[in-house]
Each structure stands twice: as C-alpha cells, then as structure tokens.
Amino acid sequence: MDLPQVADEAIDALVEVLDLVRFGIATTRPELIHHSGLGRTVVVQRVGQLIESGLVTEGKHAPSTGGRPARVLRFQAEAGSILAVELGATSIAVGIANLSGALLASREEPCDIAAGPEVVLGRAEELLDELLAAGDAPGSPLWGLGIGLPGPVEYAYGRPIAPPIMPGWDGYPVRERLARRYDVPVWVDNDVNLMALGELRLGLARGEQDVVYIKIGTGIGAGLISGGRLHRGAQGAAGDVGHIAVVDDSSVICRCGNSGCLEAVAGGAALGRLATEAARDGRSPFLAKRLADSATDALEARDLGAAALHGDALAVEIFGRTGRHIGGTLATLVNFYNPSLVIIGGGVASVGDLLLASIRETVYRRSLPLATRDLRIARSALANRAGLHGAAFAVLDELFSRQRLPRWIGQGSPAHNPAIAGAAEFAAAARAPLASA
C-alpha cells in the first residue's frame, strides 16, 4: 500500500478514539488522552474530525475535577441504522438496529431454510420492508446490512459454501442480492459466529478476551473470540464443531453425509428423534402420551425437556448422555484453546438445566486443571437475540475498522456504496501493511 505512514497513524488514532467513545470507555478529551496514550494534539484533531463527520457530538460540560471543565462527547448512535437478519434452520428473524447495536424493532417467524434462497431471502426482504415501513428508526438512513446463515460462509465473498442443511444455497450470491436491493454494504457470516459477536459486544462476553460460544439448536456449532475479537479463521469456517466425529457408529448418519457427528447424536433434531422413538417403543409413558396428544407424528427436543422436568427416567438418561457428548467436545476445545468463558446458547440449551449440568460436569472432569481453574460456563444472557445483535455488529465493526472507515468517513455515510464490503476491497485491505509501531 503506498499511503504514507503518517496517514496510517492518523487512521489508527481515529479508529481508537472512535472506539473509546462508541463503547462508552471515554467521554471527554482528557479521558481519551488517558485511555489511548495518544498526545493531546492528536486527540483534539481526531475528535474534531469525528464531530465534523457527524459520528460524535459535543454536549454539556462534565463535572469539574479541578481545572477547566471538559465537554462530554457522545457517539451519535442515531446517525444511521443497520438491518440485521438471522436465518436459522427453522426460523427467520429480522431487526433494525442503531449504530450502538441496540435493536429498535424486530420480527421473527418460522421458516424452512431448505426452501432455498429465493423463497427464504424473498421472505426476509418482505419482513425488512415491513420494519422499514413501520418507521421504527425515523430519520436514520440505512448504513448497512448484516445477515447470519446456518452453514459455512466464505466471509470475504459473502457466500455460503456447501452448507449441509441448505439445499440450493451453495455459492448463492447473498451479499450481491441484498446489496443491490438496499444499496448499502452487506456482510454475510455464519449464524453462530454472529451469536458469539453479539455476546462479545452486548452480552456475557463483554470485556472478555478468549471465549467459546456453543450453540445447541437443531444443529451444533461454535463461535470463537480470540484476543477480544471474533476469530473466523482463514476462510470463515472456524468453530464448525457440529461435524466432529464423537461416536464410532455408522448407523448414526448425519445431515452432512458422514456418520457419528456430534450434531447427529446430540443436536436438537437428534433429541427429537430419540424422544419419538422412545414414545413409540413404549420406553417412556410420558413421551408416549405426549406423542398421542400431539398434532404431528413426531416429538421435539422441548418434549424431552418437559419429560425430564416430569422426572421421566429415560429423558434424564438421554440428557445425561447428550451432555457428555457435547461436554467431551467442549473439553477438547477448552484444552486446545484455554478460554476464560464458555457460553451455551441455542434453543436446546434452554430446554433444561439437566443438559447444562451434564455438559459442565463433563468439561470440568475432562479438561486440564489449569484450563478450568478460572473457567466459567454460563448460559447465554441474550438468548435468541444474540444473533441479531451480532449481525448488526458484523456491520458496525467493519464500518468502523481501520480498513474501511477511511473509505467513507469523508462522505459522512457509507450508504449508496455497497463496494465498501466488496471482496476485492477486502483482499486489498487484508494485504495492506498494518501501521508500523
């Protein structure tokens, strides 16, 4: 990159000052100097640039601590709005967020991802259009769109690659389609990565450096936070732990085509199947009655949760076994990765404490003492909102990054500039040298 080094340093300082203000860590110029270690002149110049761009405003004087009172700086979260979409295996959620990642409005409904991209994205667009028409973010122009998909996503290009449960989606140009429709930069990511990011920015993982987020839903996946940042890996596939082989049993065929995958023995779909089999075989009177009363001919993971709560011995045993499978994989991750926090999210995680207890017990038993000495294992605090918050922050973190902020701050807005998210630009930015210290 042939930009002079001074420009790189100015960009680094600009991003650092903006981050300190938007995350509420510093709210006056003296606090910015203290927290950033930057010189007074640099801070004054960068704050001036941020005020000029409309990202920061200056408010009243802060209470004096002796000396001249400092003016309070405020991040203009209403300067723009972000569309957030989370596609699950069986659901679709959309939301509109401000520039602080707070959700101003959201909608959710059942949807089968296997219906294909035309149907599913078409419905997502209808729901987004309804939200926009409802005017929940009045006066805030659209600045970007983030979307999570329940499968592997090649992050630089915004496309799903050979997703096991998404027929018709392989290579589909999700970014291009949504960028054309909304005329804003679009980022596409795996749904679990976005849940982890949501937890990092607004949930339990705030301020943590090394975190594993594991989603136990219809499928199973993990998102990794490393050094305080989402770790996507070389292509974006990091954390796809659902297809790690955990049992040597060729009769347990997974949706991916392999056998013995974690997801195939411990995911929500597997729990539903085990519950249905137990009901039919007469091994659980509770589940048999539940199946007879059901409008469908199959039970779900939540039926197993109800059975366990009722004290059904078979349900308790299934949760114990499932927890050991998930806990065993998590213990491997804990030994390999040494996180300070493991967050458990997803629909199945909410069906009962029994599963959580079994996972916890297995992780502590199977991990090295040093790795678990200060390890916390907790249930997600954001629950089913983690993915939408994460989709918003996928956009915000990119827009306010050192690679992208300089590309639009002069215009005052990244809107009408979908190329900001483009793969070519991404590759060029990735090749650019970091500012030398």
Give the interface with Zn ion as residue ranges (CB under 5 A): 243, 254, 256, 258, 261
Shortest distance in whole angstroms from residue 333 CB to Zn ion: 17
Distinct helix (H) and strand (E) counts, the chain? 16, 14
Q: What is the distance between the alpha carbons of residues 130 and 153, in angstroms, rounded to a whole number?
A: 27
Shortest distance in whole angstroms from residue 329 CB to Zn ion: 13
Question: What is the residue type of 352?
Answer: G
Q: Which is nearer to Zn ion, 80 or 223 (CB)?
A: 223
Shortest distance in whole angstroms from residue 244 CB to Zn ion: 9
Q: Which is nearer to Zn ion, 246 or 420 (CB)?
A: 246
Shortest distance in whole angstroms from residue 155 CB to Zn ion: 21
Question: What is the residue type of 171?
Answer: G
Sheet holding 220-226, edge to edge: 229-231, 220-226, 211-216, 341-345, 376-379
Shortest distance in whole angstroms from residue 346 CB to Zn ion: 16
Q: Which is nearer to Zn ion, 232 or 243 (CB)?
A: 243
* Maximum Cα interatomic distance, the chain, rounded to a whole number of Å: 79
- 103 exposure class (CB count in 10 Å sphere: 0-12, 13-18, 19+): middle
Shortest distance in whole angstroms from residue 434 CB to Zn ion: 37
Q: Which is nearer to Zn ion, 163 or 185 (CB)?
A: 163
Q: Which is nearer to Zn ion, 261 or 342 (CB)?
A: 261
Q: Is the CB of residue 36 less than 8 Å from the CB of residue 16? A: yes
Q: What is the distance between the alpha carbons of residues 239 and 205, in angstroms, rounded to a whole number?
A: 17
Q: Which is nearer to Zn ion, 33 or 256 (CB)?
A: 256
* CB within 8 Å of 428: residues ≥ 6 apart: 1
Question: What is the residue type of 56?
Answer: V
For residue 345, which of 205, 243, 210 has the smallest C-alpha distance? 205
Q: What is the distance between the alpha carbons of residues 409 and 10, in angstroms, rounded to a whole number?
A: 13
Shortest distance in whole angstroms from residue 253 CB to Zn ion: 9
Q: Which is nearer to Zn ion, 113 or 205 (CB)?
A: 113
